[in-house]
Structure 1
């Protein structure tokens, strides 16, 4: 496609063979990047010769459809210097971030985006966008109000940054000072633990020594008794044998009777010795102490108090948002066996949306510009997904009780490592190096580090019943529980701060850039907007088809959500713009 004002590349040439009748004219746009094709026509406005394909496209494109076109018989048969070197503003030299070989030349009023000719052709067509050529509209910005306002805003922002740095510098010094006290408290706490363990060790040693002393005392009693019996038996036995040898009948008779009585007495004494129950001992550690040392991951937690001036949580009823339906994106693919069931979604970039299709056991990558699924990865039981980095995701697999990490590279999804968790994991959110995961069986919430170490567990029938989805920011954790019909807000120590009730079936949940919450109320067929402190809320979008999963894009001010009611709606993501 020829574009007005395009400079001819240096490698453009005009083939001449012999006389003027043998001159071959080539398509100038194709000669920029593609194969050399013979000219089929000519654009008088662009001063360019065009091949048959470019000639046809030139008549269709919104920027050139009104140009004057000459066919092959009417077009100039020579190349003018103006055609070889068409004019272009020398300052249009900023490369397009998406198409580095092309310069930015256009501006889309709808998307407020700077574009090159490829962007215009592929993503911002005349049917959906109002596109202007920059040199045609740029003159109005000289000394304009926009120019003045932007400079003023930049100055204000610069001042805010300087003030913010000084403020943070001061409170950082205060924070570091408090950490010095924390380190001293840790050492003191460790000393107290050591002292208590020493006391418990002394108690155990004393108990063992008492048993040893009792054993030795019993042994001494047995030894004395046995020695007495043995000695008396020996004397009596020798006497009886002597009297029998010397035939002293009278004395032998009396000695035998005395021996009978002595035997009865000694049998009783020996029988009493069997009452001593001597035992073998083993040490069994205290289960509570053992469990503490085995499972606890820290000596304690840091309690914190913000040093910055607290800002009031956003109140959703301060102003009403304007909403406009931007269309829908089909996410059903040829690989799918049934209709879609989109249960989770997250944005990697404004143009790249990752969704979990629990009905088709798939993780899908969606290009929001081309509005198409660009890759699909099969995985059993995916429910929710969160972005860990700009190229890595974490997906909950509730059937396997696993968290699957997935990398995104060259527009492809690839499985990486997995984490085993202790329950049916559903909702997941990543923030500042930690994963927050909600579980249905058993109903609980866990905060884990990126290696899977459990840092905090929150459970209890009065807190959670069916916590299916979760979202986070640096201040709070928000959990949607459809059985308890409310949104629960917790801090990062796992303590419940507040909650918002009155919902019928809250499920998908996301946070806007200003801290307000968007939650899908499936049964009420609406999406509610709730203040960050859960103090108030209102219906933002209504009469929907069982909204299920939701995701917010701050850059484009767009809200993406799925539906789970009608088969003809399940396969599409709905896109709304908020202002």
Structure 2
């Protein structure tokens, strides 16, 4: 029965998200995908098209024509595709069978679990209870474990109900605060609009007064000038008439010429007298407008149109803190460290200037009681005051919040990672046609280990990129992490397991090790300082290595979806995750208890993939931008671009060598040529980075 269920599960997985189908939709080629997955695929295919042209099946590339979706947006096409009712019914039936079937032992597949170990909080079969849990103090039968919990279920239910009630009160209170912020935002906007209207009305009134004066001056001065113009026209016209008459009578009528000659002289004298009088009284205008510089000075001296103060007071529902109580830093929510993913200039914009460089989400000013924040002041960071008090973060609206790459100081440039492309190598072996490298790692010896989901295998290469060994899996593997020079762990998402594989470099072989069963599918994994982080679509699990066993330290619900990759720093104190898919585009850094330290986001980066710590820096493969960028691990500040080479097509996973002198980069996309998809890129990292890398633990 278990074998049949396992075989059935392999055909009920969406090839895009690697999870069980959710609302499966069928294309004309009869391939099925989750509704959200195929919708994301459709939007990505058509995002650069001015006119949508349909889309190809992600599996077989068969075209689905646009005729079926005429008049609809690409975002709505998936809802118009036929639902695969057969798959939906099979999934429902399979879930029902799994819920009613006995639980199988993860180590002994032919055994059912009969016991529950309270010490390790795991189920065990009869063999495990006598071997792995022989020294445990509290190993009970399933019936005893159920009875023990049923005795306390009513108390727990009451506690949970009380917890829900108290939380709902807090939730309502917080919602009131949200409404308060929004209402205040509207009030401030309205006040600014009124202020703007008053300024515009003032200038309109002043403009009318000045234009009225100009019209009056124009009417008065133009009257006198027009009279002078008319006199000039009369003199010219009479003088021309006299010349014409004299020329006609001089030869044809001498008597008339003699008779009128004296009249012409007399008329000339009269006109000349008028002309001399006009010249004596002729004046030119000098028109000059003197602006009121006091207004201009006032605008120049005003560096803001108002100030915004934020004061935190004790909440109405807040309980008094007993004297002498020490706050637990692991559980405390540090409001002063909260970072928003949206830029403040977009929500309270007074200036329209915006930096064109990649900018992370900026800090929202959070202050202690009786401290204020001036929106008109400059600076996103402030130094500590001389008296040791916490400084108040300040932000000037409209100024860039992150320096462009060109303005990075020499000191900051010293901490920039630089990478130089060395070579690439082919990972396809024997008769393999296409490879999809889901994970990559470099051992201390320089040997390389890769997971290939297309061929369901783990491959070993030497330091000169020659193939050495391979081991096959029954399902497609995911990411991998190095535990030691002789051991790696591999994610098996379809089985919700992490599998150990032992590496024998001298013997050129790979042998299977123990298996760790997880609560859900995990696609990415990272190991450092005896701690392992496993990442599912929405959770991060932290395990501690104790001898040959794993003990779970923490389960972190990130409260987001579509988590893609995870990385632990060398001290295993911070964990950073990337989110995949539209519109998710953030990188989140937390401590290992789940407290969020910072978030990096940018509207143009929608597909951050592989991620790795490089000392106090973080390298991120940006799938849609075809670059490797660098973030500051302390505060998530964007430092610059590490790799933007013509060899990059669709960067996916990246890993660094233990020495920090080498980086591997995998690429995958259905549009890539197979020979390029089968290559892993190798980069040499700068020497300056090595001094800053944390020493391997």
Q: TM-score, normalised by structure 2?
A: 0.37
Q: TM-score, normalised by structure 1?
A: 0.44
- Kindly indicate which of the two structures has a greater share of residues assigned to strand: 1
